[in-house]
Structures are given as structure tokens and as C-alpha cells.
Amino acid sequence: MLHARLSNPLAALCAILAGGVAALGFEPWNLVPLTVLGIAVLTALVDTAPSVRAAAKRGWLFGAGHFAAGLTWIATAFTFQAKMPAGLGWVAVIGLAMFLAIYVALAAALARGFAKGPLGRVLILAAAWMLAEWLRGWVLSGFAWNPLGAAWVDVPGVRQMAQYGGALALSGITVLLGGGLWLMARPGALRRERLVGVGVAAAVLVMGLAGTGLDRPQYDPDGPVVFLVQPNIGQDVKYSEGAGQRHLQVYLDLTRSALGAAAADRDAGALVLWSESSVPYAVEEDPEARALLASVLGPRDLLLFGGVAVIRDKGGEVTALTNSLFVIDASGRLLGRYDKAHLVPLGEYVPARPLMARLGLTRLTPGDVDFAAGPGPRTLALPGFPSVGVQICYEIIFPGAVVDPGDRPAWIANISNDAWFGASGPPQHLAQARLRAIEEGLPVARATPTGISAMIDAGGNVVVSHPAGTQGVVSSALPPALAPTVFARWGHGVTLGFGLLLVCVGVWVDRRRG
């Protein structure tokens, strides 16, 4: 392991490499032990740092390597906008990684500054990491992608701890586990420190065993059938001339075929879920478009699809759009609408538009009219079916902000366009949707144009899915919702309590050591 006299250049190199290695626990690699090992190296770097400033620098370098390795898919998004300068995607990846690394630097500085000994630093680093991830989720609109706890999404049992403390608590547990490795391996470690390291590892094992019962797939054979339509329409062809109608026809044909083939096997109506931006028309202003959509539905079927709503001023001029999910029945009536609330900077609106225009930066999506934000999570009533909460695209990555707490839905529809996200983005997006299912105790249905479309039960299990880069329709009975989880009832309150406990124990340990 690392020695206290590790030279500055070597410490910097170790920090960057450890950060990159820690990202290999995320999808699509799923090498969770490497995430724990990377955190162990970070803990060692913080513990052996000669000053708070040095610890912050090492934390920042770790974070830069970590986020750069985990967010490479962002570069792909910039390749679909001809107006963007060539190579800007990789500049964006590095720039974003350097910014997000500030949160890791903060956690490292707090651990080094407020604790005097190795054990105290491990405990406070875990608490500070949770604080840093919470801040990352809302500062400057927030970017909560890939919390450290997402590495556990394919580990049965352990992932179920998200029912209690959410993804942030899982992140704290990961830091404790990595810190425990450092305590066991640290040269000159006290016996009690090594025992704590063993104890943390044992606690994670116990949590895993205790949570395995919660991992049983949830299934309701009498639940309504949900069809997830995946047309495999890539972003490179989405905005070509005349593409809108052609692509809509693919959705219509796939839906008509799937509903027709299943007609003999179902007595009740079905729910059909299309992806974000699947319909190129302003359906509220276009009765012919509504009739076309309704034409593929049976008498009791409902279609949930992504489209835009138009906001006009008193003179009829378009002032904004909304990125929305609509619900339509077989008669062509619109039964509900949800407007995306958490918009993507440069993707759906341009902050400081005049300045950005002078720099040659525009939205990643075509058009000069910005999207307007909706009011936030809301539940839509679906006649004849369980009520639904809606999350559009990356709204699903924000823990504690995906359902209306005053009107809890029976399931969550997450429509997205992951065609932007390259190879690693879609499985990472799916992993975070699975965490939201566990946290809220609700099934999540995902529909994306190129994958990964999936039905997720309330325990985070993928019931059915359609592979990325393929065309087709998958269907599943809607899994049942569980009773509201601890996290659903208390949100980040449990994480706050966990963090405060770690800080208190860390301070107490330091005082005893002194």
C-alpha cells in the first residue's frame, strides 16, 4: 500500500489511476471489487497527506480520473450536432470531470481536516462523500450521474440497502468498505483499527445476506400488460429530412403488430409505452395526429408517448416548448400530460444564450426555442389502470425526487432517448433507474429508441429487457408496488442520520486517541 512519504508526482499519478479504476465498478464493467480498491487507495492518499490542501488536491485528482473514466459517453452526444466544434465532446468530458472532482476534493479535505487519526478519517470521509454526492445532485441544477452506490446494482442483497438510505447511503458504505481495507493494510496499524476494517467487511456481508430475501422477483400474473416499444432509431438519422413521419410509422407498425399478436392472450386493455420525443407533432394542436396514434389501439388500450407541447403568447407566437409525456386512448382523447422539470443545460435550454451564441455554442438538439421546465413530479391517473409517475430521461437519476410524495403512484414510467449516450451511457442509465425502483418500492418501465428498454420490478430486478441496438417490442405484466419503503417515507433523512452517526463516532474515536 501507500507510504506516508509518497512523493507528490507519484501520489498524483496514484490518485488519477485509482479514480479511473474505481469507475470500473459501474455498468457496463461491473467490477465492484475494483471500486472498493480504488476507494481504499483514495483513503490511503487522504490519510497520508501532509496537509488539508494536499488531501484536497489528491481528492481532486482522484475525482478527475473517476469522472473522466465513467462519463466517456458524453463525448458521443456532441457528435450529433453539426454546429458544435469538432472535438468539443472530449473537451466537455474532461471539463465536466474537472468540475465534478471538486466534490471529491471537498470530501477529502473534510476528512483530513476534521480527523486526526486513520479511523476517524475513514469515518468522516464516508460521511463527507455522502454530503458531496448530495451537493452534486442539486448545485447548478445538479448532475447526480453514477453515485458510488450504483456499483452495487448487480450485487444481490447489498443493493437492497437503498430501501433504507438510498443510493447515497450505499455510497457511504462503499467508502467505509474501502477505508476498512486501508485500515487492515496500513503499516503500523493498531489492532483495533484492523478489527474495525474486518468489522466493516463483515457488516457488508451481513447486509448482503440479510437483503437477499428482498431480491426475490416481484410478479403479479394479473397485472396489466405493458408493451415497451423500441424502434432502434439512432440519433444520427433522427433529424434527417422527412424522418419524423418515417420514424413514427415504425412505432405505429411495431405497436400494431405487437398488440395484434397478443390480442388472443389478453382479456383486458394494455398499456403501450413509447420513448421520449417519439411523436414529432404538437398533438394538442393536431387532431389528425391524435387520430393516427389512436388507430393502433384496442378499445381499452392506452398509449403513453413522448412529444412536445407548445407554449404561445397572447399573439399566438411560440415562446417555449415542453418536453412532455402524453396519455391517449383509443378514441384519440388526451387523458394527461407530464412536463419534464429537470432540463439538461445545452441539451434543452441554453443558459446565458447570448454569450453562448458568441462562443459558437448552441443546443445539442436542433431548434432555437428553449424548453420550459414543468412543475416537478406528479401522478397521472390512467382510467382502468394503476396510476403512474413519470420521469423523462435523466430525471430518473435524482434520488428522492422521482415521485409526488403526496400522491404516490403505483409505478413509474421512464421514457428517454439514450441514443445520445454511446455504449456505456445506456446501461449506466438503466442501473440508476433500478436504484430508484429499490428506493421507492415501485416498478419502473423504461422505453428508449435504441435501448435499453426494460421492465424493472420494485426490488430492482430486470423482469424483461430489449438489448441495445436492436428493434422490437417486449411486454410484461406490471409488477406490483411494495409498501412505501423507509427511503420513500423519509427520503434523505436516513442518510443524514447515518452521516451524523459516522461523524460523531469519528470525533469520539479521535478524542479517545488523543
Angle between the N-to-C axes of helices 32-47 and 118-136, in degrees from 0 to 180, rounded to the nearest 10: 120
Please tell me which residue in 133, 276, 439, 440 is annotated as part of the active site. 276
Give the cell for residue 302: 392506452
Check if 14 is active-site: no
Q: End-to-end CA distance of the chain, in Å?
A: 26
- At 206, which helix (H) or strand (E)? helix 191-211
Check if 393 is active-site: yes
Residue 152 contacts residue 158 (beta carbons within 8 Å): yes
In angstroms, rounded to a whole number, what is the distance separating the alpha carbons of residues 292 and 299?
Answer: 15
β pairing state of 385-392 and 453-456 = unpaired
285 backbone dihedrals φ, ψ, rounded to 5°:
-110, 5
Strand order in the sheet with 472-477: 334-339, 318-329, 302-312, 270-273, 225-230, 472-477
Instruction: Name every residue whose Cβ is closer than 8 Å to that of residue 282 and which is 6 or more positions away in sequence.
Output: 289, 307, 308, 309, 310
Q: What CA–CA distances, in Å, run from 251 to 236, 293, 296, 324, 341? A: 18, 10, 10, 17, 26
Q: Where are the alpha helices (DSSP H) in 212-309?
A: 235-238, 243-262, 287-294
Residue 306 contacts residue 415 (beta carbons within 8 Å): yes
Q: What is the largest CA-CA distance in the chain?
A: 77
311 backbone dihedrals φ, ψ, rounded to 5°:
-105, 125
Please tell me which residue in 14, 57, 238, 340 is annotated as part of the active site. 340
With the CA atoms of 465, 383, 299 and 287 taken in that order, what torsion angle do they form, in degrees rounded to the nearest 10? Answer: -90
In angstroms, rounded to a whole number, what is the distance separating the alpha carbons of residues 258 and 475?
Answer: 9
In angstroms, rounded to a whole number, what is the distance separating the alpha carbons of residues 29 and 447?
Answer: 23
- Block residue for cell numbers 496537509: 51
In angstroms, rounded to a whole number, what is the distance separating the alpha carbons of residues 192 and 198?
Answer: 10
Please tell me which residue in 393, 395, 439, 440 is annotated as part of the active site. 393
Catalytic residues: 276, 340, 393
